[in-house]
Amino acid sequence: MQITKEFYKNELAEFHRRFGEEIETYVKAEYLDNLAQCERILVVGCGSGKEVEYLSARNKRASVIGVDFMVEPILYARAKYPSLKEQFVVGDYYSLGELFEGQFDAIVANAAFVHLLERKDLQERIMPAISQRLRPGGLAFLRLLDRPAVLERQQFDITPEFQGRPRWFVYYSEEELCEIALQIRLSVVKRKTHPHDRFPGTSWSCVLLEKTIAAS
């Protein structure tokens, strides 16, 4: 976790300049737009706040909260979207069960879980907490990295902007995400693997999940 904190603390402005301004077209059209009618939405790992801004614009009645475990991205998001500044909160998604009261109509984790402390945490801690915080019939969108034959590793960035800076990554296939979801009674509404536009051999595993009425 310290590696991740150091990277985003030191490279925050440049990272958000390069990657934090736009949401991929397929993410909006195929996943986020399915949440347009949801009225209480939680965005975990919100970073620069782009998903919070997009969802708030799509539904003016919605209460959209963005949470990030570092104060620097939250301050960045508040400055970038001043009209939404009260909607950005510092908090660790490892404590998702205690962060807020009540349940949500939707939870968004767009590339939020690529830096988990341990790979097993997704199945043992994160996904059960998501299910707990969703109301029956609620939706969850998750986008995580996948790289065949790689489960987790520290890698040194090869992009010119961040040459040689280390980051820790965990990887999951689309099939694995669906298996984990079904184990905790989240049904799969949509699933797809999208190629990464910058790194050959790496892709994005995307799932849109729904909490079944009978799920606890």
User: Which residues are CB-contacts of 71 (< 8 A; sequence separation ≥ 6)?
Assistant: 90
Count of positions (residues) in the chain: 216
Find the angle CA(13)-CA(31)-CA(162) to the nearest 5 degrees: 25
| Closest-CA residue to 196 (of 153, 155, 145, 156) | 145
| Per-residue tens of pLDDT for the chain, all 216 residues | 555 555 455 555 665 666 657 899 999 999 999 998 999 999 999 988 999 999 999 999 999 999 998 898 899 999 999 999 999 999 999 998 888 889 999 999 999 999 888 899 999 999 999 999 999 999 999 999 999 888 865 554 545 554 555 566 899 999 999 999 999 989 999 999 999 887 788 999 999 999 987 544
> Considering just the CA atoms, what is the radius of gyration of the chain in Å?
16
Question: Which CATH superfamily includes the segment(s) 2-211?
Answer: Vaccinia Virus protein VP39 (3.40.50.150)
- Give dist(CA 66, CA 92) in Å, integer: 11
- pLDDT value for 50: 94
User: Which residues are CB-contacts of 183 (< 8 A; sequence separation ≥ 6)?
Assistant: 123
The answer to whether residues 116 and 191 touch, using CB atoms and an 8 Å cutoff, is no
- pLDDT value for 150: 82
